[in-house]
Chains A and B, each alone.
Chain A
């Protein structure tokens, strides 16, 4: 792939601006995290509202039954989508957010989603702890999964 320098210059600037954050997901307290096995259990009893805040191609391949797509929250567009979905919910709704695009400490979406929903006043907000990715930590474990838009 060859691009002229003239073409590259402005795109380089755009690319740098969009560079993914390398920071770890470190603002979600352990007390607000839920493990996959626990959520799978809750799905059988009283499912919380589940928001997938990751990337659409991941959601389209596989997601937790009932999960609403509201992402990706590493972008303003995704945060707007998340806020729009959240506005429909009572502030005391039990909510679980998840992504699973990358290892937990590499995820570019979870911190922003958690911070945004906390700022909106949601009091029963939890984050699904996905150690490596949604495939290994949810689908491969045999937890319920659907595919679709």
Chain B
């Protein structure tokens, strides 16, 4: 038997069951949950290591067409803005690391990629659809969050504004 917890949403229909947990959505101004994981290349990746930089967290998966379309833009941003203190970190929601690794190689990803999981996703307010991008400023606080397919120019504009 699996233990299940009910999520609470505004206007949630109870069906006789009491909601006992709500997804705590992250919003701009909040500090993103820390994480420490091994990257697909075997190197450790911690969010804390990039403190002082502008960080773009990209929740993606190899099966997500909009995610795959966006990655070349992130790769390009990483190459052009690395010297100004910009860092992309990919968080793959693929079921297996081998799928994520193959896609990362195919797409020429030039930034660290770690495997995400349901626990981390819930800590980040629920990654219930892809892609999700989160921009973190030099002060370690969330600047912007984008859900779904977002024009690259919108993200780049926000990145540049955060870089100052």
Interface residues of A (CB under 8 A from B): 1-3, 7-8, 11-12, 14-16, 18-22, 40, 43-44, 55-58, 60-62, 65, 72, 74, 100-103, 106, 108, 132-136, 139-149
Partner of B65, one of A55, A108, A135: A108
Q: Is the pair A61, B102 in contact by a Cβ cutoff of 8 Å?
A: no
Q: A100-B128, A102-B65 are in contact. List 16 more A-B contacts (CB 8 A).
A: A14-B102, A15-B105, A44-B13, A44-B15, A57-B93, A57-B116, A58-B93, A106-B64, A132-B129, A142-B10, A144-B12, A145-B12, A146-B5, A146-B6, A148-B2, A148-B4
Residues of B within 8 A of A (CB): 2-7, 9-15, 17, 21, 23, 39-41, 61-66, 68, 93, 95, 99, 101-107, 109-113, 116-118, 121-122, 126-130, 147-149
Q: Are A62 and B128 in contact (CB under 8 A)?
A: yes
Bound Cα distance from A21 to B41, whole angstroms: 26
**Given A102-B129, A135-B147: A20 in contact with B105 (beta carbons within 8 A):** no
Q: Give Cα A65–Cα B4 distance, bound, in whole angstroms.
A: 9
Contact A100 B7 (CB under 8 A): no
Q: How far is the CA of A62 from the CA of B102 in the complex (A)?
A: 27
Contact A62 B66 (CB under 8 A): no
By the criterion CB–CB under 8 Å, are A134 and B129 in contact? yes
The chain B residue with its CB closest to the CB of A41 is B13
Task: Indicate if the CB atoms of A57 and B62 lie closer than 8 Å.
Answer: no
B13, B17, B40, B65: residue with the most chain A Cβ atoms closer than 10 Å: B65
The secondary structure that dominates the A interface is loop
Residues of B within 8 A of A65 (CB): 15, 17
**Known contacts A18-B99, A101-B63, A133-B147: does B110 contact A1 (CB below 8 Å)?**
yes
| Docked pose: A146 CA to B99 CA in angstroms | 27
Nearest neighbor of B122 in chain A, beta-carbon distance: A61
- Cβ of B62: which chain A residues have Cβ within 8 Å of it? 15, 18, 20
Known contacts being A139-B9, A142-B11, is A16 close to B106, with CB within 8 Å? yes
Bound-state Cα–Cα, A2 to B109, Å? 9
Check B128 against A135 for contact (C-beta < 8 Å): yes
CB-CB < 8 A to A146: which residues of B? Answer: 4-7
With both chains docked as a complex, state the minimum distance between the C-beta of B39 and any C-beta of chain A, in angstroms: 7
CB neighbours (8 Å) of B105 from chain A are: 3, 7-8, 11-12, 15
Q: How far is the CA of A62 from the CA of B25 in the complex (A)?
A: 14
